[in-house]
Amino acid sequence: MQLSLGFSPCPNDTFIFDALVNGKIDTEGWQFDTRLEDVETLNQWALQGKLDITKLSFAAGLRVADKYRLLNSGSALGRGCGPLLIAREPLSPEQINSLKIAIPGENTTANLLFSIAYPDAKNKEIMVFSDIEQAVISGKADAGVIIHENRFTYQQKGLVKITDLGAFWEEKTGHPIPLGGIFIRKDIPEATAQKIDALIANSLQFAFGNYPALAPYVKEHAQEMDEQVMRQHIELYVNDFSMDLGEQGHKAIEVLKQMASL
């Protein structure tokens, strides 16, 4: 019994899925054809229904609700972990509206949050998230929306924070920030979906049980190779919501859906 599974090579995802895909827990006969891709690639693939199970930006999940349903485990959702708008020097909101902004994908939650905060900023350029810092440094972009481990490195490179888009969201809504979740195709039986959901939770529980040790799988795929940054990344994006979205998590996603439709 095999299903295709896609998630990002970022430490939070490899931390969650390591035990599941590398035989460290009993998968009860399930095997996974695993694809590690940038989240925007996974977002695009979901529009085609390409993978059985996939990590998606919640903004993209809203767009593919006809094809995929959200699982309860494996999500990135929390407080103080949102995307940041950064630049080479301080900028006013009025300046942002007329400048070129690098974003990590049209379908990302980061782009949705930026659009809510700066609805008049239309000059955007889509880039792979890991290229945005350098694009801002070089002047290819005037500012950029950064996610993942770049939160921990931009200051070292002389860049400044313009807006914490996660803090903006929390102040506006009072809810934690729903960044990304694990989705499964709707044509897969409900009993199978529930089993996969439980296996993801078991995989994460295994990872938590061995932390702060980092599995070779996490180190191998991390774009930022400093182990302290990997741990910062995991501690920021993997939490109780990753085990179980719960009522609070589902409410935050519902508010994002409402905001996206405005």
190: Cβ contacts below 8 Å, ≥ 6 apart: none
Contact of 15 with 76, CB cutoff 8 Å: no
- 109 labelled binding-site residue: yes
Contact of 248 with 78, CB cutoff 8 Å: no
Q: Is 148 a catalytic residue?
A: yes
Taking the CB of residue 115, how many other CB atoms lie within 10 A of it? 18
CA angle 245, 250, 254 (to 5 degrees): 155
Contact of 256 with 90, CB cutoff 8 Å: no
- 8 labelled binding-site residue: no
Amino acid at 16: I
- 65 labelled binding-site residue: no
User: Whole-angstrom Cα distance, residue 130 to residue 92?
Assistant: 25
Q: Choosing from 148, 221, 233, 250, which is the catalytic residue?
A: 148
> DSSP assignment, residue 108?
S
- 56 labelled binding-site residue: yes
Per DSSP bridges, beta strands 160-164 and 2-7 are: unpaired
Which residue ranges are tagged as binding site for substrate? 55-57, 109-110
Which residue ranges are tagged as binding site? 55-57, 109-110
Catalytic annotation, residues? 148
